[in-house]
């Protein structure tokens, strides 16, 4: 008997990213709490310590044997076997309908994504959200697209990104004369890094800022479009020498690297995606 089965369609490697990182965080946290947990992932995956790996080919047996199955909302429609779980926990931390909307898809595609998410929520015994702002969004989807469905019996639980399991304590910021600001959330279109540059231009010259995620997590994708705008604005404001853009920080190094800064900053726009989509691609 598997007490809890966490399902992901992402291959789990040493530096998991995106939904894969979320699955690793959930599985690792459950294992650290003394719960028997298995991770269903594509072949070739490497499970974290204390977690049993189940190949996706064995998913029907694993779902049948599990007490609880934890699955992203986006995957519920991928395999009918997931709907047969004894207890179904739907992870809504990555609310994909807003990503479909932000990508400029048609009204029909947006409605289909919203309906799919609502159906997943309607099947759930409990729904996980990464932030309080996702709860009313999920509840609204359920009410609009599945008006006859009851709310999840177990309600909506807040489970932020990351894992409670930590390694050695990270180093504290150094005794430097420079005040270092970090923007770790990535240069996504629904964020507003230009506001941070405007603030930087008004601050003393010993204040610097470092933007993480200038490159798309997909190595085959072009550089993030906002990266060029950040560089251009930094030059225009005469703060280019105090502005640094880098790629992605490996998940295993995130805590220690973040601790080397004095202040974390991320400015959001008024768009829906800014309010409810909590970026996990920064850990990559």
Residue 132: how many other CB atoms lie within 10 Å? 9
Whole-number pLDDT of residue 277: 67
75: left (phi over 0), alpha (psi -120 to 50) or beta: alpha
Partners of 207 in the β-ladder? 179
pTM equals 0.77
**Residues 42-75 as b or e (16 or more Cβ within 10 Å = b):** eeebebbeebebbebeebeebbeebebbbbbbbb
CA pair distance 31, 248, nearest whole angstrom? 27
Q: Each residue's pLDDT tens digit in the chain (284 positions)?
A: 579 999 999 888 766 566 788 888 899 889 988 899 999 999 888 888 889 999 998 999 999 999 999 999 989 888 889 999 999 999 998 888 887 877 778 889 989 999 999 999 999 999 999 888 899 999 999 999 999 999 999 999 988 875 444 444 444 555 567 899 999 888 887 788 999 999 999 999 999 999 998 987 677 778 888 999 999 999 999 999 999 999 877 767 777 888 889 998 877 766 666 667 665 444 43
Q: What sign has the CA pseudo-torsion 110, 272, 184, 228?
A: positive
């Amino acid at each position: 008997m598997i007490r809890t089965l966490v399902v992901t369609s992402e291959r789990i490697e040493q530096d998991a990213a995106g939904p894969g990182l979320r699955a690793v965080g959930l599985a690792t946290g459950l294992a650290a709490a003394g719960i028997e947990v298995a991770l269903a992932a594509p072949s070739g995956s490497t499970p974290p310590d204390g977690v049993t790996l189940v190949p996706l080919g064995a998913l029907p047996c694993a779902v049948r044997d599990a007490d609880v199955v934890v699955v992203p909302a986006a995957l519920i429609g991928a395999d009918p076997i997931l709907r047969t779980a004894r207890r179904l926990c739907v992870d809504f931390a990555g609310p994909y309908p807003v990503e479909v909307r932000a990508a400029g898809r048609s009204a029909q595609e947006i409605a289909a994504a919203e309906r799919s998410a609502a159906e997943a929520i309607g099947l759930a015994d409990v729904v996980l959200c990464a932030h309080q702002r996702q709860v009313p969004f999920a509840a609204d989807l359920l009410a609009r697209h599945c008006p006859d469905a009851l709310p999840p019996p177990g309600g909506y639980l807040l489970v932020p990104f990351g894992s409670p399991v930590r390694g050695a304590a990270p180093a504290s910021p150094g005794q430097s004369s420079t005040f270092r600001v970090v923007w770790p959330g990535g240069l996504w279109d629904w964020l507003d890094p230009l506001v941070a540059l405007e603030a930087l231009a008004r601050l003393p010259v010993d204040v610097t800022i470092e933007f993480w995620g200038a490159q798309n997590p997909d190595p085959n994708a072009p550089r993030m479009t906002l990266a060029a705008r950040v560089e251009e604005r930094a030059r225009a404001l005469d703060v280019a020498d105090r502005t640094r853009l880098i790629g992605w920080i490996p998940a295993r190094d995130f805590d220690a690297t973040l601790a080397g800064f004095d202040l974390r900053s991320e400015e959001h726009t008024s768009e829906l995606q800014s309010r409810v989509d909590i970026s996990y691609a920064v850990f990559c």
